[in-house]
Chains A and B, each alone.
Chain A
Amino acid sequence: MSSLELKDLYDGFRNPDVIKSFQKLIAAEAEKLDRTVNIMEVCGGHTHTIMKYGLTQLLPENINFIHGPGCPVCIMPKERIDHAYTLAMQEDVILLTLGDMIKVPGSHGSLQDARAKGADVRYVYSPMDALKVAEENPTKKIIFFAIGFETTTPMSAALLDVVIKRDIKNIFFHINHVTVPEVMKELIDSRDEHVNSYDHRIDAFIGPSHVSVISGSKIYAVFPEHYRIPVVVAGFEPVDVMEAIYMMIKQFNEGRSDLEIQYKRLVTHEGNLKAQALIEKYFEKVDLFKWRGMGNVPNSGLKLRDAFSAYDAEVLYKEVLPYDEIDDHKLCICGDILRGFAKPQQCSVFGTACKPSSPLGSCMVSSEGACAAYYKYGNLL
């Protein structure tokens, strides 16, 4: 890279002068608001950006963040982690997964505990790394514990595509892919069960960055159209988030509820059609997927289509996988935090019994979870 350096891709989006300029623009626009607006950043990447760069400290008091459920590691229920743990402990299995997933505790411990007990658990940067592991270990069964939203789903599909085309016999999949719009709907639709006097506690959504690169902004069209809730798809840098907030408040002041893209350098309305086709080819929706902290959310999970069940570890290991329901920890209020009824510090176990090194609930699990971000970076004003 001679002409364009890596830092050129982010330096401008962290420019202090630009951030301060947006701070002023937002302050001026927010003065015209007649009430506090609740903005949900759906994606954990945005939660991380907001906390890491201290953006809440730059905003007027009438702008409130609700930290959404978009952290694929955080929302993984214990039942699924127990699946991973059980698979990892099987003879001749090498379990592969992505980064942070290794740390999340299930009923018997985390995958790093399984590894300490002798299981072969590895993390990969890309699902494609599984090909090398499979080649080097022809006598082992390589199980890819696939997690993530629309961002990582095409990579799992691409791996399966290669596995089928090359007729590789020792790579299998345990699918835990979930989709963003369904959980956003759930957050709105389930509202009345909790607080009758509120409808639309979430006034606006910041749409996820990477998810939208794949799926396009079209997946959020229902929110402005049906629910009258504005959506601005934003990038992950601090300037991106500040600009998105500015765009949103302008929408309020102008009485609009539109679907807008701030992250224009990567996101289009249609998204990556090739990736979408790959997903469509190999995956189908499951009726219910349980989200840690949220419970069962209709149509929010994916599974391999029946035609590919020969690659589905959940089918192949059906006899050994546990299927008991496990309740979330009863002191944990992650569900309320995700719905915007509570902030992390209001939880009785926040920072005491529940810490990033020993999380009780979903929001403390990964650095993208709201509680972990509050714990790690504080919320200093």
Chain B
Amino acid sequence: MTKNIVLAQGNGGEENGELISKIFYKHFKNEILEKSEDAAIIDGGRLAFTTDSFTVSPIFFDGGDIGKLSICGTCNDLAMMGAKPTYMTCAVIVEEGFSVEELEKIVRSMKKELEINGALIVCGDTKVVPRGSVDKIFINTTGVGVVQKSGISSNSVSEEDVIIVSNEIGKHGATIFANREGMEFSSNLQSDCTSLWPLVEKLLSEGIAVTAMRDATRGGVAAVLNEWAKQSKVCIEVNEEAIPVSDEVRGICEILGFEAYNLANEGTFVLAVKRSDAQRAVEVLKTFEEGSKASIIASVTHQHDGRVLLLSPWGSKRFMDLPTGELLPRIC
């Protein structure tokens, strides 16, 4: 590991994983933490518990803002464990000089998202720091959810499952790149930033046999599938043609040399579902606008345990690897 922290260590990929295991896991080691799930399951399996910090530039982007993101992100982590978001905390670090009007705009979008999840902010903290100490505003939220279906775990994916993505992938990452880099792309691209609990609630109430769920945030779908393959000691074989990607996201990937499955999502998740329930799960997801492009993308085998394979429409295979380093545009 490097002597100083580099940006690549926050990428949701390999370097990020190394930092977490060599510094944080080493000292905080315990049975619950080591499960490495989206949210910790505590209180004898009754509650799910998670936290997330949000720093995004720009803070207002097409399809959302840092406030919406801060509620979606944490609530989605709870939802991914089959838990209904209930109580939350909100800690805000604001830079001196930040616009009060913008702050209120952010808080209003938090409130709207809380209502969608049926959750409450029940305590919080506010710090104001001198100009330059943070980039405008950082938000941390912590959430507690009540587990509705137990046993959902990224350690249990097996050959009996198929893999589904809930919608077109890569929209958040592509939007942030297009907004941030001032490339002046003209497109209808919007972040997929959304609360997933309503979708999960419906899947569970329909009795879909869900083995694992994960929202494909930093590191994208590739990071989720690679973690599952490793944690469950299976091979995930992805049918490249079946991955839903919008034309806009494909276009940005083409120009910048990215893969859509490495780009972040904030309202798109990956599910491992028992094969017999897969078609029904897709149908349930498709009843939501946020799930309208849901698709079965992969099967689970033991071809190369711990790895993810990408199958091309012309019969070749390659690994779908974890992203490494910062996402940087290729040169030529």
Interface residues of A (CB under 8 A from B): 5-7, 10, 16, 19-20, 23, 45, 51-55, 57-58, 72-73, 98-103, 109, 112-113, 115-117, 123, 125, 147-149, 151-152, 210, 238, 355-357, 366-368, 375-378, 380
Contacts and interface: CB of A to CB of B under 8 A. Distances in A.
Given A6-B254, A117-B4, A151-B332, 15 more contacts: A6-B250, A7-B247, A7-B251, A10-B254, A54-B318, A57-B316, A98-B331, A101-B331, A103-B326, A112-B7, A115-B7, A356-B324, A357-B325, A376-B319, A380-B317
B332 A152 contact: yes
A339 B5 CA distance: 37
Interface residues on B, range: 35 or more
Given A53-B316, A57-B316, A367 B330 contact: yes
Contacts of A45: 332
A10 B329 CA distance: 18
Contact of B314 (A19, A51, A73, A113): A19
Contacts of A54: 312, 316-318
Contacts of B5: 116
A98 B15 CA distance: 22
Interface in B32-62: none
B96 interface: no
Given A117-B4, A151-B332, A356-B325, A52 B247 contact: no
A52 B310 CA distance: 10
Interface centre among B14, B257, B314 (most CB of A within 10 A): B314
A16 B247 CA distance: 18
A247 to B, nearest CB: 19
Contacts of B328: 99-100, 102-103, 123
Interface in B277-332: 307, 309, 312-319, 321, 324-326, 328-332
A367 B315 CA distance: 23
30 contacts: A6-B251, A7-B247, A10-B254, A16-B314, A53-B316, A54-B316, A57-B315, A57-B317, A58-B316, A73-B331, A99-B257, A99-B328, A99-B330, A100-B331, A102-B326, A113-B6, A115-B7, A116-B6, A116-B7, A117-B4, A123-B329, A149-B332, A152-B332, A356-B324, A357-B8, A357-B15, A357-B324, A357-B325, A376-B319, A377-B321
Contacts of B330: 99-100, 366-368
Contact of B316 (A10, A55, A123, A152): A55
A116 B2 contact: yes
B14 A357 contact: yes
A368 B316 CA distance: 19
B185 to A, nearest CB: 10
Contacts of A57: 315-317
| Interface of chain B: mostly helix, strand, loop or mixed | loop
A58 B312 CA distance: 11
Contacts of B247: 5-7
Contact of B4 (A116, A149, A356): A116
A175 to B, nearest CB: 15
A6 B314 CA distance: 22
B181 interface: yes
Contacts of A147: 331
B318 A210 contact: no
A355 B328 CA distance: 17
Contacts of B23: none
Nearest to A103: B325
A73 B331 CA distance: 8
Nearest to A116: B4
A365 B319 CA distance: 18
B325 A23 contact: no
B251 A380 contact: no
Interface centre among B2, B247, B319, B330 (most CB of A within 10 A): B330
Contacts of A376: 319, 321
A378 B319 contact: yes
B256 to A, nearest CB: 8
Contacts of B183: 125
Contacts of B18: 357
A122 to B, nearest CB: 11
B318 A113 contact: no
Interface in B6-41: 6-8, 14-15, 18
